[in-house]
Amino acid sequence: MFAAILESRQMNRQCPIAIDLSGADVHAEAARIREQAPAAQVLLPGGVRGWAVNRHADIRRLLVDPRVSKDAYRHWPAWISGEVGAEWPLSIWVSVQNMITAYGEEHTRLRKPVAAAFTSRRVAALRPRIEEVVDGLLDGLAALPPGRTVDLRAGFAHELPTRMVFELFGIPERSWAPLHKIIKGFFDTTITVEDAQRNAVDMDVTMADVVAYRRAHPGDDITSVLIAARDSGGEEEGVRLSEKELVDNLILLFTAGYETTVNLICTALHELLRHPEQLKAVREGLGSWEDVVEEALRIEPPASYGLLRFAVEDIDMGEGVVIPQGDPILVSFGSVGRDPQLHGAGAERFDVTRETRGQHLSFGFGTHYCLGATLARAECAIAVERFFERFPEAEPAVARGGELPRVASFISNGLRELPVVLGAENRGV
Ligand code: HEM
């Protein structure tokens, strides 16, 4: 038995697949791994080896398996020993100490105060504000000279989640420009080690400044709520947060809450622009705007991989593959939406009427399920519906079938730009 496990480990340690850090073709890569084995050895920057898990059923199982941790400080021997450290280009994804890198009771402790601040009442109350921001952005687009090509990522999709996150977290205006730059660098997995390290320092400094500002000027925002929870000294049971945990939780909320939603809005707009028959189906009531959002989440998950998880003990994945204790694990959200076992043949087709459109794991699953899913869904549905109401003749500027450049990342999955000719504005007359 032992010999068989050893043999399977050796077999699976051969020929690791080097993950393409530029994310040039995440779906082809994901399919290759999915077809190979329930878990395949992959190579990350700096020669770090891990296991990619790409099949829907396996990912769902692992995401609720207590033998899987996200805490590098407790469960990644290479991180604990310093063999992998701050100079590793992806170190920021494991060095931060917040809910997304926490395990077990620590996770519960770190998530609780944020979940308490992120109430459904607060999110529901944001709807009119989302509509207002969307309409303001569309007014700006309508004021541009007719016939001009517009980049909808920069001019629309990017602006909405950014403003919502800035407002929700009470970010002072002086921090907006630095944060734009830092978050772009955070998801760019092709930047140099030096730039990644500089970015991590800039992130810490900027977020510490945000906390200092909000501590001095508390408001009705989530940052102020979290500061109050921390400064109360943990009177409320389970709400103890160190200053680092407070800042790191804010870093998470900020980075998770914005680039991903930009990607989602871009995908939904892009798919409807290049598949006019799908837009027609929505207009004819065969699918809803919410269906568009789910299908966009399925076909292009805004986060391709969830970094990083660690095997707390040996995990037998079946088919002779064992993930050894202490090894890093990457779960591929990018792969789930196109898994033919779940979505059948033609999973790569955008179809708002698809029965399995909601069966993705693009917001994760289990204990780390995304806290911002309701907000992101609302932002996307409102943005896309109002855009097509206002610009019913909008056309892609690149011929249909032409490829658009994608974000240089194997984590963030989105279009780098979305050039569109808006056409005449619908003034409702
Ligand atoms: C389309 C937009 C979004 C997508 C696709 C997305 C995706 C995800 C995914 C996949 C996870 C789980 C990661 C893992 O298990 O490794 C996650 C967790 C999380 N997301 Fe989102 N997210 C989005 C928007 C947001 C927004 C708007 C916020 C808040 C402003 C947010 C806050 C969080 C937080 C706090 C977690 C960590 C939860 C935990 O560890 O307990 N996300 N998100």
The reported pLDDT for the residue numbered 398 is 85
Does the CB atom of residue 200 touch ligand 1 within 6 A?
Answer: no
Q: What residues pair up with 327 in beta bridges, in sequence order?
A: none
Provide the pLDDT confidence category of residue 4 given band limits of 50, 70 and 90.
very low
Torsion of CA 367, 107, 333, 395, to 10 degrees: 100
Instruction: Give CA–CA dist 78/56, Å, rounded.
Output: 28
Closest ligand 1 atom, residue 307 Cα: 16
Does the CB atom of residue 368 touch ligand 1 within 6 A?
Answer: yes
Provide the pLDDT confidence category of residue 1 given band limits of 50, 70 and 90.
very low
Q: Which of 417, 383, 385, 380 is nearest to 398 (CA)?
A: 417
The reported pLDDT for the residue numbered 236 is 56
CA distances from 265 to 250, 289, 294, 377 (A): 23, 12, 11, 9
Residues 6+ apart with CB under 8 A from 218: 224, 227, 228
Provide the pLDDT confidence category of residue 425 given band limits of 50, 70 and 90.
confident
Closest ligand 1 atom, residue 102 Cα: 40
Closest ligand 1 atom, residue 249 Cα: 35
Residue range 70-80: mean pLDDT, rounded:
97
Neighbours of 429 (CB within 10 A): 3
Contacts 24+ apart (CB under 8 A), 71-77: 71/101, 71/102, 71/103, 71/106, 71/310, 72/101, 72/308, 72/310, 73/97, 74/103, 75/103, 75/310, 75/311, 75/312, 75/326, 76/308, 76/310, 76/326, 76/328, 77/326
Comparing 377 with 425, which gets the higher pLDDT?
A: 377
Least confident of 178-182, 236-240, 333-337: 236-240
Q: What separation in Å is there between the alpha carbon of 154 and the centre of ligand 1?
A: 22
Closest ligand 1 atom, residue 98 Cα: 40
- Residue whose Cα lies nearest atom 27 of ligand 1: it is 257
* E strand residue ranges, 6-113: 17-18, 40-43, 49-53, 68-69
Closest ligand 1 atom, residue 367 Cα: 41
Does the CB atom of residue 118 touch ligand 1 within 6 A?
Answer: no
Residues 258, 171 contacting (CB under 8 angstroms): no
pLDDT, one tens digit per residue, over 99-157 is 999 999 999 989 988 888 777 788 888 999 999 999 999 999 999 988 889 999 999 99
Residue range 392-411: mean pLDDT, rounded:
88
pLDDT, one tens digit per residue, over 305-332 is 988 999 999 999 999 999 999 999 999 9
Residue 11 reports pLDDT greater than 60: no
Instruction: Give CA–CA dist 198/206, Å, rounded.
Output: 12
Q: What separation in Å is there between the alpha carbon of 6 and the centre of ligand 1?
A: 37
Q: Which of 429, 428, 426, 425 is nearest to 148 (CA)?
A: 425
Q: What separation in Å is there between the alpha carbon of 371 and the centre of ligand 1?
A: 6
Q: What separation in Å is there between the alpha carbon of 295 and the centre of ligand 1?
A: 18
pLDDT, one tens digit per residue, over 196-232 is 888 888 888 998 999 999 999 999 888 998 898 888 7
- Residue whose Cα lies nearest atom 3 of ligand 1: it is 260
The reported pLDDT for the residue numbered 248 is 86
Q: Are strands 149-151 and 419-421 parallel, antiparallel or unpaired?
A: antiparallel
- Residue whose Cα lies nearest atom 9 of ligand 1: it is 363
Contacts 24+ apart (CB under 8 A), 207-211: 207/247, 207/250, 207/251, 207/254, 208/247, 209/175, 210/169, 210/171, 210/172, 210/175, 210/250, 211/243, 211/246, 211/247, 211/250
Q: What separation in Å is there between the alpha carbon of 82 and the centre of ligand 1?
A: 28
Instruction: Give CA–CA dist 397/288, Å, rounded.
Output: 25
Does the CB atom of residue 130 touch ligand 1 within 6 A?
Answer: no
Provide the pLDDT confidence category of residue 426 given band limits of 50, 70 and 90.
confident
Does the CB atom of residue 111 touch ligand 1 within 6 A?
Answer: yes
